Structure 1
Amino acid sequence: MQTSIFLAQLIGPVLLTGAISLFVNGERQRAMAREFLESPPLIYLSGILVMTAGLAIVLNHNVWALDWRILITLVGWMALIGGAFRILFFDEVEKIGEKMLDRPWSLTIGGVVWLVIAVVLIYFGYFA
Protein backbone atom coordinates (compact mmCIF):
# COMPACT_ATOMS: atom_id res chain seq x y z
CA MET A 1 0.00 0.00 0.00
CA GLN A 2 2.92 2.35 0.68
CA THR A 3 4.03 2.07 -2.96
CA SER A 4 0.49 2.91 -4.11
CA ILE A 5 0.39 6.02 -1.94
CA PHE A 6 3.83 7.13 -3.10
CA LEU A 7 2.93 6.68 -6.79
CA ALA A 8 -0.42 8.44 -6.26
CA GLN A 9 1.45 11.36 -4.69
CA LEU A 10 3.90 11.38 -7.60
CA ILE A 11 1.52 10.91 -10.55
CA GLY A 12 -1.50 12.86 -9.28
CA PRO A 13 0.04 16.36 -9.25
CA VAL A 14 1.73 15.81 -12.62
CA LEU A 15 -1.57 14.79 -14.23
CA LEU A 16 -3.39 17.66 -12.51
CA THR A 17 -0.87 20.19 -13.82
CA GLY A 18 -1.11 18.71 -17.32
CA ALA A 19 -4.92 18.78 -17.24
CA ILE A 20 -5.05 22.39 -16.07
CA SER A 21 -2.57 23.34 -18.78
CA LEU A 22 -4.80 21.75 -21.42
CA PHE A 23 -7.70 23.91 -20.25
CA VAL A 24 -5.76 27.15 -19.72
CA ASN A 25 -3.46 26.90 -22.75
CA GLY A 26 -5.58 24.82 -25.13
CA GLU A 27 -4.62 26.45 -28.41
CA ARG A 28 -0.98 26.75 -27.42
CA GLN A 29 -0.97 23.09 -26.39
CA ARG A 30 -2.49 22.13 -29.74
CA ALA A 31 0.18 24.14 -31.60
CA MET A 32 2.94 22.61 -29.49
CA ALA A 33 1.59 19.11 -30.15
CA ARG A 34 1.63 19.76 -33.90
CA GLU A 35 5.27 20.86 -33.69
CA PHE A 36 6.08 17.77 -31.64
CA LEU A 37 4.46 15.50 -34.23
CA GLU A 38 6.67 17.02 -36.94
CA SER A 39 9.80 15.74 -35.17
CA PRO A 40 10.41 11.96 -35.34
CA PRO A 41 13.45 12.29 -33.03
CA LEU A 42 11.26 13.91 -30.35
CA ILE A 43 8.58 11.23 -30.76
CA TYR A 44 11.26 8.55 -30.43
CA LEU A 45 12.90 10.20 -27.40
CA SER A 46 9.57 10.72 -25.68
CA GLY A 47 8.84 7.04 -26.33
CA ILE A 48 12.01 6.06 -24.48
CA LEU A 49 11.14 8.33 -21.54
CA VAL A 50 7.48 7.31 -21.36
CA MET A 51 8.25 3.60 -21.76
CA THR A 52 10.88 3.81 -19.01
CA ALA A 53 8.44 5.53 -16.65
CA GLY A 54 5.70 3.03 -17.48
CA LEU A 55 8.00 0.06 -16.97
CA ALA A 56 9.13 1.46 -13.61
CA ILE A 57 5.50 1.76 -12.51
CA VAL A 58 4.54 -1.71 -13.76
CA LEU A 59 7.58 -3.37 -12.15
CA ASN A 60 6.76 -1.76 -8.80
CA HIS A 61 2.98 -1.63 -8.93
CA ASN A 62 1.24 -4.27 -11.03
CA VAL A 63 -1.81 -4.31 -8.75
CA TRP A 64 -5.07 -5.47 -10.31
CA ALA A 65 -7.32 -4.86 -7.28
CA LEU A 66 -10.75 -3.43 -7.95
CA ASP A 67 -10.13 -0.17 -6.14
CA TRP A 68 -8.36 3.15 -6.78
CA ARG A 69 -4.94 1.46 -7.05
CA ILE A 70 -5.87 -0.01 -10.43
CA LEU A 71 -5.61 3.53 -11.86
CA ILE A 72 -1.89 3.53 -11.12
CA THR A 73 -1.46 0.14 -12.76
CA LEU A 74 -3.42 1.26 -15.82
CA VAL A 75 -1.38 4.46 -16.11
CA GLY A 76 1.79 2.36 -15.93
CA TRP A 77 0.65 -0.09 -18.59
CA MET A 78 -0.61 2.68 -20.89
CA ALA A 79 2.74 4.48 -20.56
CA LEU A 80 4.66 1.26 -21.20
CA ILE A 81 2.62 0.36 -24.29
CA GLY A 82 2.36 3.95 -25.52
CA GLY A 83 6.09 4.48 -25.14
CA ALA A 84 6.91 1.26 -26.99
CA PHE A 85 4.50 2.28 -29.75
CA ARG A 86 6.28 5.66 -30.11
CA ILE A 87 9.66 3.94 -30.37
CA LEU A 88 8.54 1.29 -32.85
CA PHE A 89 6.03 3.23 -34.98
CA PHE A 90 6.89 6.94 -34.77
CA ASP A 91 5.50 7.56 -38.27
CA GLU A 92 2.13 6.13 -37.20
CA VAL A 93 2.19 8.28 -34.07
CA GLU A 94 2.36 11.35 -36.30
CA LYS A 95 -0.67 10.24 -38.34
CA ILE A 96 -2.74 9.30 -35.29
CA GLY A 97 -1.77 12.50 -33.49
CA GLU A 98 -2.75 14.68 -36.44
CA LYS A 99 -6.17 12.98 -36.64
CA MET A 100 -6.71 13.61 -32.94
CA LEU A 101 -5.64 17.24 -33.17
CA ASP A 102 -8.04 17.82 -36.07
CA ARG A 103 -10.92 17.10 -33.69
CA PRO A 104 -11.55 20.26 -31.63
CA TRP A 105 -12.88 18.37 -28.60
CA SER A 106 -9.99 15.89 -28.32
CA LEU A 107 -7.90 18.00 -25.93
CA THR A 108 -10.94 18.70 -23.77
CA ILE A 109 -11.71 15.00 -23.40
CA GLY A 110 -8.05 14.28 -22.63
CA GLY A 111 -7.99 17.07 -20.06
CA VAL A 112 -11.14 15.80 -18.35
CA VAL A 113 -9.78 12.23 -18.17
CA TRP A 114 -6.46 13.46 -16.76
CA LEU A 115 -8.30 15.70 -14.29
CA VAL A 116 -10.51 12.88 -12.96
CA ILE A 117 -7.57 10.49 -12.57
CA ALA A 118 -5.48 13.24 -10.95
CA VAL A 119 -8.18 14.13 -8.41
CA VAL A 120 -8.65 10.48 -7.42
CA LEU A 121 -4.90 9.91 -7.05
CA ILE A 122 -4.36 13.13 -5.11
CA TYR A 123 -7.24 12.29 -2.79
CA PHE A 124 -5.93 8.81 -1.99
CA GLY A 125 -2.29 9.87 -2.02
CA TYR A 126 -2.60 12.85 0.28
CA PHE A 127 -5.92 12.83 2.12
CA ALA A 128 -7.37 9.32 2.55
Structure 2
Amino acid sequence: MELSLFLGQLLGIYFIVAGVIVILRRKSLIPAVAEFGDNRALILVVALVEFIAGLAIAIAHPIFTLDWKGLITLVGWWMMVEGVLYLMLPHSRMRKFIRMVNKLRWYTLGGALSILIGVYLAGGGFGFW
Protein backbone atom coordinates (compact mmCIF):
# COMPACT_ATOMS: atom_id res chain seq x y z
CA MET A 1 0.00 0.00 0.00
CA GLU A 2 1.31 3.42 -0.87
CA LEU A 3 2.28 5.43 2.21
CA SER A 4 -0.01 8.32 1.31
CA LEU A 5 -3.00 5.99 1.15
CA PHE A 6 -2.13 4.40 4.49
CA LEU A 7 -1.57 7.74 6.24
CA GLY A 8 -4.70 9.23 4.69
CA GLN A 9 -6.76 6.33 6.01
CA LEU A 10 -5.06 6.28 9.43
CA LEU A 11 -5.10 10.02 10.08
CA GLY A 12 -8.50 10.47 8.45
CA ILE A 13 -10.21 7.93 10.67
CA TYR A 14 -8.35 9.30 13.71
CA PHE A 15 -9.44 12.90 13.02
CA ILE A 16 -13.07 11.85 12.44
CA VAL A 17 -13.26 9.78 15.64
CA ALA A 18 -11.40 12.39 17.70
CA GLY A 19 -13.62 15.18 16.37
CA VAL A 20 -16.82 13.32 17.20
CA ILE A 21 -15.55 12.52 20.71
CA VAL A 22 -14.51 16.14 21.30
CA ILE A 23 -17.94 17.42 20.26
CA LEU A 24 -19.92 14.81 22.21
CA ARG A 25 -17.75 14.88 25.35
CA ARG A 26 -16.63 18.53 25.37
CA LYS A 27 -18.01 19.27 28.85
CA SER A 28 -16.05 16.41 30.40
CA LEU A 29 -12.88 17.35 28.49
CA ILE A 30 -12.61 20.80 30.08
CA PRO A 31 -11.49 19.56 33.53
CA ALA A 32 -9.25 16.89 31.96
CA VAL A 33 -7.45 19.47 29.81
CA ALA A 34 -7.14 21.80 32.81
CA GLU A 35 -5.45 18.98 34.74
CA PHE A 36 -3.19 18.28 31.75
CA GLY A 37 -1.89 21.86 31.99
CA ASP A 38 -0.94 21.30 35.63
CA ASN A 39 0.96 18.04 35.03
CA ARG A 40 4.49 18.80 33.80
CA ALA A 41 5.46 15.13 33.44
CA LEU A 42 2.43 14.43 31.25
CA ILE A 43 3.18 17.51 29.12
CA LEU A 44 6.73 16.22 28.63
CA VAL A 45 5.56 12.75 27.56
CA VAL A 46 2.90 14.13 25.19
CA ALA A 47 5.41 16.60 23.72
CA LEU A 48 8.01 13.91 23.02
CA VAL A 49 5.50 11.46 21.52
CA GLU A 50 3.93 14.18 19.38
CA PHE A 51 7.31 15.43 18.17
CA ILE A 52 8.54 11.92 17.27
CA ALA A 53 5.28 11.03 15.49
CA GLY A 54 5.33 14.31 13.57
CA LEU A 55 8.99 13.86 12.66
CA ALA A 56 8.28 10.35 11.37
CA ILE A 57 5.45 11.64 9.16
CA ALA A 58 7.47 14.61 7.89
CA ILE A 59 10.51 12.47 7.02
CA ALA A 60 8.60 9.54 5.51
CA HIS A 61 6.07 11.67 3.62
CA PRO A 62 7.74 14.82 2.19
CA ILE A 63 4.97 15.63 -0.29
CA PHE A 64 4.30 19.36 -0.62
CA THR A 65 1.20 19.58 -2.80
CA LEU A 66 -2.07 21.45 -2.41
CA ASP A 67 -4.20 18.34 -1.92
CA TRP A 68 -4.86 15.70 0.71
CA LYS A 69 -1.33 14.29 0.36
CA GLY A 70 0.16 17.69 1.15
CA LEU A 71 -2.15 17.96 4.15
CA ILE A 72 -0.65 14.76 5.56
CA THR A 73 2.80 16.36 5.44
CA LEU A 74 1.41 19.56 6.98
CA VAL A 75 -0.09 17.51 9.84
CA GLY A 76 3.34 15.97 10.47
CA TRP A 77 5.01 19.38 10.56
CA TRP A 78 2.26 20.77 12.78
CA MET A 79 2.79 17.89 15.23
CA MET A 80 6.53 18.61 15.34
CA VAL A 81 5.96 22.33 15.96
CA GLU A 82 3.38 21.65 18.66
CA GLY A 83 5.67 19.13 20.37
CA VAL A 84 8.54 21.63 20.38
CA LEU A 85 6.25 24.37 21.74
CA TYR A 86 5.15 22.08 24.57
CA LEU A 87 8.83 21.52 25.39
CA MET A 88 9.97 25.13 24.98
CA LEU A 89 7.17 27.25 26.43
CA PRO A 90 7.51 28.17 30.08
CA HIS A 91 5.00 26.28 32.19
CA SER A 92 3.22 29.50 33.20
CA ARG A 93 2.57 30.42 29.55
CA MET A 94 1.38 26.91 28.77
CA ARG A 95 -1.14 27.08 31.61
CA LYS A 96 -2.28 30.55 30.52
CA PHE A 97 -2.80 29.35 26.94
CA ILE A 98 -4.73 26.28 28.11
CA ARG A 99 -6.99 28.45 30.30
CA MET A 100 -7.63 30.73 27.31
CA VAL A 101 -8.69 27.96 24.89
CA ASN A 102 -10.26 25.52 27.36
CA LYS A 103 -13.80 26.73 26.56
CA LEU A 104 -16.84 24.94 25.10
CA ARG A 105 -16.84 27.00 21.90
CA TRP A 106 -13.24 25.98 21.08
CA TYR A 107 -14.11 22.31 21.51
CA THR A 108 -17.09 22.65 19.17
CA LEU A 109 -15.04 24.49 16.56
CA GLY A 110 -12.03 22.19 16.94
CA GLY A 111 -14.17 19.06 16.80
CA ALA A 112 -15.92 20.22 13.63
CA LEU A 113 -12.60 21.16 12.01
CA SER A 114 -11.17 17.78 12.98
CA ILE A 115 -14.11 15.98 11.35
CA LEU A 116 -13.74 18.01 8.14
CA ILE A 117 -10.00 17.33 7.96
CA GLY A 118 -10.64 13.66 8.70
CA VAL A 119 -13.25 13.31 5.97
CA TYR A 120 -10.89 14.96 3.47
CA LEU A 121 -7.93 12.75 4.44
CA ALA A 122 -9.98 9.55 4.62
CA GLY A 123 -11.60 10.36 1.30
CA GLY A 124 -8.18 10.63 -0.31
CA GLY A 125 -6.84 7.59 1.52
CA PHE A 126 -9.76 5.40 0.52
CA GLY A 127 -9.71 6.64 -3.08
CA PHE A 128 -12.78 8.86 -3.21
CA TRP A 129 -10.70 11.72 -4.67
The TM-score with structure 1 as length reference comes to 0.92
The match for 1:70 is 70
Deviant stretches of 4+, over 6 Å: none
Matched length: 127
For the aligned residues, what is the CA RMSD?
1.5
What amino acid is aligned across from residue 120 of structure 1 in structure 2? Y
In 1, Cα distance between the equivalents of 2:21 and 2:79? 20
The match for 2:18 is 18
Which consecutive residues of structure 2, in runs of 5 or more, have no partner in the other structure?
A: none
User: In 2 relative to 1, CA 90–16 (structure 1 residues): closer, same or farther, beyond 3 Å?
Assistant: farther
The TM-score with structure 2 as length reference comes to 0.91
The match for 2:34 is 34
Identity %: 28
What amino acid is aligned across from residue 119 of structure 1 in structure 2? V
The match for 2:98 is 97
State the SS of the aligned residue for 1:64. Answer: coil
* 8 Å Cα contact 1:43/1:90 also seen in 2: no
In 1, Cα distance between the equivalents of 2:104 and 2:25? 14
Higher relative contact order (CA 8 A, sep 6+): 2
Which consecutive residues of structure 1, in runs of 5 or more, have no partner in the other structure?
A: none
